[in-house]
Structure 1
Amino acid sequence: MSTEINVTLYCPICGQSDFECNDNKSYVKCNNCEREFHGGIDELAEFNHAEIENEVQKYGQALLDDFAKNLERKFKNNIHLKFKK
C-alpha cells in the first residue's frame, strides 16, 4: 500500500484545478479566474480542507481493511481464532 495521498486542489472561486506557482509554492495563482493566493499552497489547502480530510479518511479506512485482511490471512488455519466479518 502506498504511503502517499494525492489530493487535487480546486480554486474556491471557479472550481478549476489549473494553477501556477513559484518554486517554493509561497504564491499560487489560478490560471482560469486569475485568483491569487498570496498565502501560497497553505492558503489553497485551507480552502480545500474538506477534500483533503476526505482523502485522509479513505486512506485510513483502506489501511485498516488491509491490516484486517493480512491478520485474517496469517491466522486462517488457527483453530482457536476466528474472525467476524
Structure 2
Amino acid sequence: MVLFGIILFIFGIFSLVYNRKHMLALLLSLEIVMLGVFLILAIFVASSIVELIVFYFVLVVCEARLGLGVLVIGVYFYGSDELRGISLLRC
C-alpha cells in the first residue's frame, strides 16, 4: 500500500511537470499528489493520530475548493482554462 502511495505521488509530480497547458489538468495532478501523500500518511500513522488524518482531509478539501474557485473565475474572465492564454497584464 505504501508502494502504491509512492507511485501515485511520483506520477502526480510528473503529471504536474508535463501537463502545463490546462488548469484543470494541473488541479487533477495536484489531487493525485495529495492522494499519494494521504496513503503514505495513513499507513505510517495508522490509527494512533486520527486528528492528523482529519486535519489533512480538511487541508485537501480547502485546497481543492480554492483551486476550483480560481478555475471558475479564470474561465469566466478569459474564456478557457488554458494557461498560455492567461496574461496578468491583460486583466
TM-score range, shorter chain: 0.3 to 0.5
- Which of the two has higher C-alpha Rg? 1
TM (normalized to structure 1)? 0.38
> Which structure is higher in strand share?
1
TM (normalized to structure 2)? 0.36
> Which structure is higher in helix share?
2
| Greater relative contact order, per chain length (Cα 8 Å cut-off, separation 6+) | 2
